[in-house]
Amino acid sequence: MNILTYKGYTGSAEFSAEDNVFFGEVLGVKSLISYEGDSVAELKADFEGAVDDYLAECSARGITPEKPYKGSFNVRISPQLHAGAATYAKAHHMTLNAVVAKALDEFLVNT
């Protein structure tokens, strides 16, 4: 999947061969913000317009726009993996959060 970025928001960029259209949605927010276009340039313009419309609507309604990826999430893992990660953190003078961040960083670099 390809991504687009604009004003701190990230959006997907996909292509439907069946419909011959590019499409996507803003990632990391609960609100459904979607966009499409017949070309990459149209997709990007519609993505940026959708973000601008979302921010304008939030402003008009007096609500704070959702921030994508606030930096915290719950992870459900086995007790054995939890114990191993906690032991590693303690042995390396790290927090459990730092161990998870390091593991995710290494995973994403190698994918």
Query: What does the buried/exposed string (b/e) look like for 11-50 if buried means 16 or more CB atoms within 10 Å of the residue's CB?
Result: bbbeeeeeeeebbbbbeebeeebebbbeeeeebbebbbeb
Give yes or no for residue 69 having a pLDDT over 80.
no
User: Higher pLDDT residue, 72 or 78?
Assistant: 78
Q: For the beta carbon of residue 93, count every other beta carbon within 10 angstroms.
A: 7
What pLDDT sits at residue 35?
Answer: 97
Position 72 pLDDT exceeds 90: no
pLDDT at site 110? 84
Residue ranges of domains in the chain: 2-61, 79-109
Residue 111 has pLDDT above 90, yes or no: no
Between 69 and 96, name the one with better pLDDT: 96
DSSP class of residue 25 equals E
* Half-sphere exposure of residue 62: CA atoms within 13 angstroms, side-chain side: 0
Instruction: Using alpha carbons, list the distances in angstroms from residue 83 to 72, 77, 78.
Output: 20, 10, 9
Per DSSP, the three-state class of 109 is helix
Per-residue pLDDT at 66: 92
Tokens representing 15? 């292509």
Assessment of whether the complete model's pTM goes beyond 0.75? no
The whole-number pLDDT of residue 1 equals 66
> Which of 22, 48, 18, 49 is CA-nearest to residue 36?
22
